[in-house]
Amino acid sequence: MEEEDIVRCQKCGAPVKPEEVFNFEGQVLCEDCYVEVASRPKPCDPAAVSAARAARLVGQHGATHLTELQQKIYQFLKERGQAARDEVAQALGVSGEEIERQFAVLRHLELVRAFKGEDGSVYLTTMR
């Protein structure tokens, strides 16, 4: 790849050939970053909530069958009552984006929810 042909991914900075660039919401991305942002679970997805509810009726209850990180998030929120996304991320040593991804799963399982506080900030809390 010649220097003038190099395009940089706006998310990770990796060099990408112009013909291998993905454009997503105004950003120039490499394939890995595109897959990450395009396939991110959405917290408010009624079909996903319904599917998760059906799966839980078959035998999964409470916080069982969660990944280690999902269990840590759930336990942290249970102990704290509520916390902002960045507080959870900092306490668990992960990125805010990772908390968002895991929140979507936990929301679909109806274990956690988000709400806007009186100060206008968004907080996460358990549903139970």
Pick the CATH number of 3-38 from 3.90.1300.10, 3.30.60.20, 3.20.20.70, 3.60.15.10: 3.30.60.20
Contacts of residue 105, defined as CB under 8 A and 6 or more positions apart, other chains included, come to 41, 70
pLDDT band at 49 (very low <50, low <70, confident <90, very high): low
State which amino acid sits at residue 94. Answer: V
pLDDT at 120: 85
Check residues 119 and 59 and name the one with the higher pLDDT.
119
Average pLDDT, the chain: 80
b/e code 26-37 from CB counts within 10 Å (16+ = b): eebbbeebbeee
Specify the fold of 46-126.
Arc Repressor Mutant, subunit A (1.10.10)
Q: What is the percent of the chain with per-residue pLDDT over 70, rounded to a whole number?
A: 75
Among 4-18, 26-40, 74-88, 109-123, the minimum mean pLDDT is found in 26-40
pLDDT band at 37 (very low <50, low <70, confident <90, very high): confident
pLDDT tens digits, 86-125: 999 999 999 888 888 888 888 878 889 999 889 988 899 9
Domain locations in the chain as residue ranges: 3-38, 46-126
